[in-house]
């Protein structure tokens, strides 16, 4: 009995000692955590000052050259290619024959249409003479005339079909791709040739809403190609999209006359330099990376009394790595340019210099 009581007392004492140690450890950990939290309460950030600057409104936009005209020829009727009269790289003119196709079915249809028309013509002449002598009625004569008109239309269509066997160019340009050779069997829709016209090209670029506001059709634009950095090409704006794309950019097309030797190729990379009517203007600007997320968010953190305060601003034009601010900030305010991802409105900050 005494041993049991002694054992229970020892167990209770041991548990008490363990509980005491754990309690002390918890207090020490909480104290350490409080110290760390106090040290890490401020979030390190980099800043910039809102200021008014003389800013150039000129800008450049990059894009790719596209041909003025591009056309893919496909077979309209089935048949077999008899001759191919052009090769890849050949210059062709409107109306020039590119290939000749033979189709027994189309030839047979023409012969049948010719025979039918001759029969209808003979019948109509006979009915017309008979009508004059009272041998046939007016209704019979009209029916013969209708048959003649119908057979003539079929003959004209058969001649058109025969003409379709001579594949002709419908634009001026250069044969960029040839898909057929003599002996090739064609079905309706079989690709034949790709022809591109690069005597003029279109440089396709995208500009934002602030930039597009100053552009007009017919404006002269200086253009350079990446492969000819020292050459300047003169172009003019021929298209400005009336609606933005999914990225809120507006497609713009600039037409450029190619050199006599067609040095510019469709697909090359080009740069258009846009000149503003006013070369420079005094604007209140902030770095582009001051905006939380993107410029379209219109939110910026400023520092007030050592804390970050989220402000809603009105952004203007994007000018390279800077953005015009129309409303919401004052000159001289300090904006946060890095570290925003860790911030909330009211967070304490530590400025890294």
Which pLDDT tens digit goes with each residue over 108-136? 666 776 777 788 788 778 888 887 877 77
Band (pLDDT 50/70/90 cuts) for residue 38 is: very low
Residue bearing tokens 């950990």: 29
Q: Which residues contact 124 (CB under 8 A, 6 or more apart)?
A: 141, 144, 145, 147, 148
Answer whether residue 181 is part of any domain: no
Q: Which of 274, 305, 332 is the last residue of a domain?
A: 274
Checking if the pLDDT of 29 tops 80, the result is no
Instruction: Give CA–CA dist 82/110, Å, rounded.
Output: 19
Q: Are 6 and 304 in contact (CB under 8 A)?
A: no
Which pLDDT score, from 0 to 100, does residue 36 have? 42
Instruction: Give CA–CA dist 51/62, Å, rounded.
Output: 29
Instruction: Give CA–CA dist 62/214, Å, rounded.
Output: 18
Residues 200 and 341 in one domain: no
Answer whether residue 19 is part of any domain: no
Residues 202 and 256 in one domain: yes
Checking if the pLDDT of 30 tops 60, the result is no
Band (pLDDT 50/70/90 cuts) for residue 174 is: very high
Distances (CA, A) of 237 to 204, 256, 261, 264, 286: 10, 9, 23, 18, 31
Once rounded to an integer, what is the mean pLDDT over residues 2-21?
A: 61
Residues 200 and 269 in one domain: yes
Answer whether residue 172 is part of any domain: no
- CB neighbour class for 38 (10 Å; exposed up to 12, middle 13-18, buried from 19): exposed
- Which two structure tokens, joined as six digits, stand for 99? 């290939």
Percent helix, strand, coil in the chain, to 5, is 30, 40, 30
Once rounded to an integer, what is the mean pLDDT over residues 337-352?
A: 89
Residue bearing tokens 């229970």: 8
Q: Which residues contact 302 (CB under 8 A, 6 or more apart)?
A: 308, 309, 311, 329, 333, 334, 335, 336
**Using the 8-state DSSP alphabet, how is residue 320 labeled?**
T
Answer whether residue 336 is part of any domain: yes
- The C-alpha angle 194, 195, 198, rounded to 5 degrees, equals 135
Q: Which of 245, 274, 303 is the last residue of a domain?
A: 274
Band (pLDDT 50/70/90 cuts) for residue 205 is: very high
Residues 144 and 210 in one domain: no
Instruction: Give CA–CA dist 270/252, Å, rounded.
Output: 13
Q: Are 198 and 70 in contact (CB under 8 A)?
A: no
Q: Is residue 215 classed as helix, strand or coil in its secondary structure? A: coil
Neighbours of 99 (CB within 10 A): 24
Q: Which residues contact 231 (CB under 8 A, 6 or more apart)?
A: 224, 225, 263
| Domains contained in the chain, number | 3
- Which two structure tokens, joined as six digits, stand for 255? 């037409």
Q: Is residue 128 classed as helix, strand or coil in its secondary structure? A: helix
Answer whether residue 132 is part of any domain: yes
Question: The domain spanning residue 246 has which CATH number?
Answer: 2.40.30.170
Which pLDDT score, from 0 to 100, does residue 125 have? 83
- The C-alpha angle 169, 171, 176, rounded to 5 degrees, equals 75
Instruction: Give CA–CA dist 198/257, Å, rounded.
Output: 9
Distance linking the first and last C-alpha atoms of the chain: 76
Residues 307 and 159 in one domain: no
Residues 51 and 113 in one domain: no
Average pLDDT of the chain, as a whole number: 83
- Which two structure tokens, joined as six digits, stand for 314? 């009105």
Once rounded to an integer, what is the mean pLDDT over residues 316-324?
A: 82
Question: The domain spanning residue 137 has which CATH number?
Answer: 1.10.287.470
| Domain around 249 | 59-67+196-274
């Amino acid at each position: 009995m005494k041993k049991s009581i002694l054992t229970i007392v020892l167990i209770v004492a041991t548990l008490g000692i363990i509980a005491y140690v754990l309690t002390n450890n918890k207090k020490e950990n909480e104290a350490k955590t409080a110290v760390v939290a106090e040290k890490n309460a401020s979030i390190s950030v980099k800043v910039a000052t809102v200021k008014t600057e003389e800013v150039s409104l000129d800008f450049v936009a990059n894009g790719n050259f596209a041909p003025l005209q591009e056309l893919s020829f496909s077979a309209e009727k089935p048949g077999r290619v008899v001759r191919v009269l052009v090769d890849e790289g050949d210059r062709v003119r409107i109306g020039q024959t590119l290939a000749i196709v033979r189709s027994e079915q189309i030839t047979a249809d023409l012969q049948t249409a010719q025979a039918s028309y001759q029969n209808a013509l003979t019948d109509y002449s006979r009915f017309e003479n008979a009508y004059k002598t009272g041998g046939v009625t007016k209704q019979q004569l009209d029916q013969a005339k209708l048959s003649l008109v119908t057979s003539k239309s079929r003959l004209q269509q058969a001649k058109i079909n025969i003409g379709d066997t001579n594949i002709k160019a419908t634009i001026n340009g250069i044969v960029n791709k040839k898909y057929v050779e003599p002996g090739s069997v064609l079905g309706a829709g079989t690709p034949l040739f790709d022809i591109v016209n690069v005597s003029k090209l279109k440089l396709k670029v995208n500009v934002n809403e602030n930039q597009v506001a100053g552009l007009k059709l017919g404006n002269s634009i200086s253009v350079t190609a990446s492969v000819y950095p020292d050459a300047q090409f003169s172009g003019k704006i021929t298209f400005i999209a009336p609606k933005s794309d999914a990225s809120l950019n507006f497609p713009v097309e600039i037409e450029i006359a190619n050199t006599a030797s067609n040095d510019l190729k469709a697909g090359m990379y080009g740069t258009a330099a846009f000149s503003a009517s006013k070369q420079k203007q005094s604007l209140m600007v902030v770095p582009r990376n001051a905006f939380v997320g993107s410029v379209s968010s219109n939110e910026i953190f400023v520092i007030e009394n050592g804390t970050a305060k989220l402000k809603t601003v009105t952004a203007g034009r994007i000018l390279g790595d800077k953005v015009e601010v129309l409303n919401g900030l004052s000159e001289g305010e300090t904006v946060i340019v890095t570290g925003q991802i860790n911030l909330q409105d009211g967070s304490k900050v530590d400025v890294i210099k």
